[in-house]
Amino acid sequence: MPDAVFSKFLTEALKSASWIIKESIKDDEPEEIFFLEDQIIRAFGGGLNGAELLLREFEKLLKAHQSSKCYMPTDRHFQLLDRVIRLHCGLYNDGTWDPILRYKRKKIKELNLESILDVFFWDTDYDFSPELALEIINQRKGLSDTLDISSSALASSAGLPVDGLDLRMEEDNPTEPIDKGTLDYLWLGLEEDND
């Protein structure tokens, strides 16, 4: 489970992603979800239906994140989380994102994206290049088992259309908590909070 500081960041990032998608639907520009690559938008069906499906999935991720239960995201969900975390770390570090995060009454000056990804995204098979993923799929015949890459991860990387299994989050019972130590993984610097 993430700590309180990262949890607040992720909650705000997921709410923001949902808002961006809602605005693109309202403006009748469902293909203009700027923080997602075109291949991801197309994989979710493109157009209005695809934007509505993406919105449902971001809302599902937020609900799962805020639940007292633990859920395991699918490769497709990890891909979406990766994009929204990258976007919001960049916005936070540029100073264009509120709210300011705090730890022990100190402002977090800058988020450490690489460290966050290392802690929470231990398996990034969903992020092969589309060309490599398609090559593996085409030559597959047992190759993915040898490489220990799921079909879902390859489909995510290749930008293939989503199916029901790609979006089915299951309740998880983790046997080991994430060892976050002193939470240093989250930031690159703290400063006194005079507010």
C-alpha of 5 from chain center: 17
Say which residue, 59 or 129, is predicted with more confidence.
Answer: 59
pLDDT given for residue 51 in this prediction: 93
If we measure between CA atoms, which residue out of 129, 17, 23, 159 comes closest to residue 84?
Answer: 17
Residue ranges of domains in the chain: 4-123+180-192
Say which residue, 140 or 149, is predicted with more confidence.
Answer: 149
Q: pLDDT-based confidence at 17, cuts 50/70/90?
A: very high
Is pLDDT of 175 > 80? no
pLDDT per position as a tens digit, 34-93:
889 888 998 999 889 999 999 999 999 999 999 888 888 899 999 999 999 999 999 999
pLDDT given for residue 185 in this prediction: 56
pLDDT given for residue 33 in this prediction: 87
For residue 98, give the DSSP letter.
S
pLDDT given for residue 192 in this prediction: 67
Contact 74, 169 (CB under 8 A): yes
Q: pLDDT-based confidence at 164, cuts 50/70/90?
A: confident
**Crossing angle between the packed helical segments 130-138 and 151-158, to the nearest 10 degrees:** 130
Q: Measured between alpha carbons, how far is 166 from 142 in angstroms, rounded to an integer?
A: 20
Q: pLDDT-based confidence at 22, cuts 50/70/90?
A: very high
Give the tokens for residue 145.
Answer: 């088992």
Q: pLDDT-based confidence at 191, cuts 50/70/90?
A: low
Cα angle, residue 142 at apex, residues 136 and 143 outer, rounded to 5°: 35
Residues of the chain above pLDDT 90, percent: 30
Is pLDDT of 25 > 80? yes
